[in-house]
């Protein structure tokens, strides 16, 4: 099987994640969409590693996972803190820096 | 044409992951979204393993579906399960243009990648995986040689993220916690009410029915011991006059001695 199909699949998932970030307004779902985009990028790394026959792509995907885990921790902490002060998880709610 | 096993895996897992991704974006409730994206991540883990990346597949299941998604669900429970989206658009046409942008991005990327990578060879990872005896050994060799600095920076990043989470979710105590002594003083203050347990109904009485007021050691009746709804209908109170007089006699004989 041609591994280019993995790239197509990853592209599709990345686009769905991008639509999720743009359309949804619940901060947690937006965050999940970001995770989906990161996973799609990881799939591209893994598929390219297999196409090129070396393990660098898998190593980079591993680092992406570590960074994603760290990002989730801080991002969710920010969401919890915003929820405490504004009692809402909507991304339209924090608008104090507007204008 | 023979049936390619990898193609079957790709069609099943790829299809399920696309369905899960669409469900994540389309479902109204955040908990459903979290479960859908957990499904996507498990399917992607299978696809990693199909791409001769067994280590990454396992890490994907442990880190993403095990840790990250559970963290998401935990925060969902903190924030409120039914915090669904409002349907009012704050920017007009945002939804339409967002979907248009996403579809255009997909078409652009698939077209561009398809035309530029169409004849890319598929070398496969068999040689690279066998070089050090396995996939994990091969990745370890890379991490601890070429990517050593990145690996150490990762350690700093994780510590910073942990500290950041602790500091961000920390709430400063506005007043010191009350000590046991302060709580006790507050309990005996004027107007604070009865300081201890109130007597149960039926204490020193010969009935244990709930409408029997307790008799206090001096022979008086503790009307507080009867629940308020029963007490308000005072014709229903059972007062054991014989028990009262016994207690009063006992108190008086104690006084004489």
Domain boundaries along the sequence of chain B: 1-83, 199-256
Structure tokens at B196: 């201890």
Is the per-residue pLDDT at B180 higher than 60? yes
For chain B, what percent of residues have pLDDT higher than 90? 37
- Answer with the residue of higher pLDDT: B148 or B216: B148
- pLDDT score, position A3: 84
- Cβ-defined contact of B55 to A55 (cutoff 8 Å): no
Give the best residue of A14, A21, A28, A87 to mutate against chain B (max B CB count within 10 A): A28
Domain boundaries along the sequence of chain A: 4-86
Q: How far is the C-alpha of B37 from the C-alpha of A24, rounded, in Å?
A: 15
Give the best residue of A7, A11, A86 to mutate against chain B (max B CB count within 10 A): A11
- pLDDT score, position B1: 45
- Answer with the residue of higher pLDDT: A89 or A75: A75
Q: Does domain A4-86 have CATH number 1.10.287.3510?
A: yes
pLDDT in tens, B49-72: 999 899 999 999 999 888 899 999
- Cβ-defined contact of A29 to B22 (cutoff 8 Å): no
Kindly report the nearest CA distance between residue A86 and chain B, in angstroms.
Answer: 11
Closest-CA residue to B35 (of B63, B15, B65, B59) = B65
Q: Give A90's strand partners.
A: A26
- pLDDT score, position B148: 95
CA distance to A63, B71, B126, per residue, from B77 (Å): 29, 10, 45
- Cβ-defined contact of A19 to B86 (cutoff 8 Å): no
> Taking CB atoms and an 8 Å cutoff, what residues of chain B touch A91?
none
SS3 of chain B: CCCCHHHHHHHHHHHHHHHHHHHHHHCCCHHHHHHHHHHHHHHHHHHHHHCCCHHHHHHHHHHHHHHHHHHHHHHHHHHCCCCCCCCCCCCCCHHHHHHHHHHHHHHHHHHHHHHHHCCCCCCCCHHHHHHCCCHHHHHHHHHCCCCHHHHHHHHHHHHHHHHHHHHHHCCCCCCCCCCHHHHHHHHCCCCCCCCCCCCCCCCCCCCCCCCCCEECCCCCEEHHHCCHHHHHCHHHCCCCHHHHHHHHHHHHHHHHC
Kindly report the nearest CA distance between residue A12 and chain B, in angstroms.
Answer: 6
Kindly report the nearest CA distance between residue B203 and chain A, in angstroms.
Answer: 48
Q: Does domain B1-83 have CATH number 1.10.1200.10?
A: no
- The DSSP secondary structure of A21-86, one letter per residue, reads HHH--BHHHHHHHHHHHHHHHHHHHHHHHHHHTSTHHHHHHHHHHHHHHHHHHHHHHHHHHHHHHH
Compute the mean pLDDT over every residue in chain B, rounded to the nearest whole number.
84
- Answer with the residue of higher pLDDT: B166 or B234: B166
pLDDT in tens, B5-30: 889 999 999 999 999 999 999 998 88
pLDDT in tens, A40-74: 999 999 999 998 888 999 999 999 999 999 999 99
DSSP A93: S
DSSP A90: B
- Which residues of B, range 140-169, sit inside 8 Å of A by Cβ? 142-143, 146-147, 150-151, 154, 157-158, 160-162, 164-165, 168-169
B201 and B213 Cβ atoms separated by less than 8 Å: yes
Complex ipTM: 0.92
DSSP A3: T
Q: What is the pTM of this model?
A: 0.76
Mean per-residue pLDDT for B212-239?
76
pLDDT in tens, B110-120: 998 888 887 77
Give the best residue of A19, A79, A98 to mutate against chain B (max B CB count within 10 A): A19
Is the per-residue pLDDT at B255 higher than 60? yes
- Cβ-defined contact of B78 to A55 (cutoff 8 Å): no
Q: What angle do CA A79, A84, A90 make, to 5 degrees?
A: 50
């Amino acid at each position: 099987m041609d591994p280019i199909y993995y790239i197509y699949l990853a592209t599709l998932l990345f686009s769905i994640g991008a639509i999720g970030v743009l359309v949804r307004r619940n901060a947690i779902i937006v965050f999940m969409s970001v995770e989906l985009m990161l996973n799609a990028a990881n799939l591209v790394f893994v598929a390219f590693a297999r196409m090129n026959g070396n393990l660098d792509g898998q190593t980079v995907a591993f680092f992406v996972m570590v960074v994603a885990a760290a990002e989730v921790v801080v991002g969710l902490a920010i969401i919890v803190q915003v929820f405490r002060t504004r009692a809402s998880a909507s991304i339209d709610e924090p608008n104090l820096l507007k204008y | 044409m023979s049936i390619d096993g990898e193609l079957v895996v790709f069609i099943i897992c790829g299809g399920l992951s696309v369905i899960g991704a669409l469900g994540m974006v389309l479902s109204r409730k955040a908990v459903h979204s979290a479960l859908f994206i957990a499904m996507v991540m498990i399917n992607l883990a299978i696809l990693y393993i199909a791409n001769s990346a067994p280590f990454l597949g396992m890490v994907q299941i442990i880190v993403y579906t095990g840790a990250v998604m559970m963290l998401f669900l935990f925060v969902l429970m903190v924030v409120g399960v039914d915090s669904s989206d409002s349907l009012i658009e704050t920017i007009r046409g945002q939804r339409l243009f967002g979907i248009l942008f996403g579809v255009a991005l997909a078409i652009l990327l698939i077209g561009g990648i398809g035309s530029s990578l169409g004849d890319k060879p598929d070398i496969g990872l068999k040689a690279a995986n066998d070089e050090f005896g396995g996939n994990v050994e091969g990745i370890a060799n890379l991490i601890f040689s070429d990517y050593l600095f990145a690996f150490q920076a990762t350690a700093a990043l994780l510590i910073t993220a942990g500290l950041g989470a602790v500091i961000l979710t920390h709430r400063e105590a506005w007043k010191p916690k009350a000590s046991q002594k302060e709580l006790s003083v507050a309990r005996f203050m004027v107007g604070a009410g009865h300081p201890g347990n109130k007597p149960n109904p039926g204490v020193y009485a010969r009935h244990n029915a709930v409408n029997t007021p307790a008799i206090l050691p001096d022979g008086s009746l503790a009307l507080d011991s009867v629940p308020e709804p029963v007490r308000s209908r005072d014709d229903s109170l059972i007062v054991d006059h014989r028990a009262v007089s016994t207690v009063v006699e006992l108190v008086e004989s104690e006084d004489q001695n």
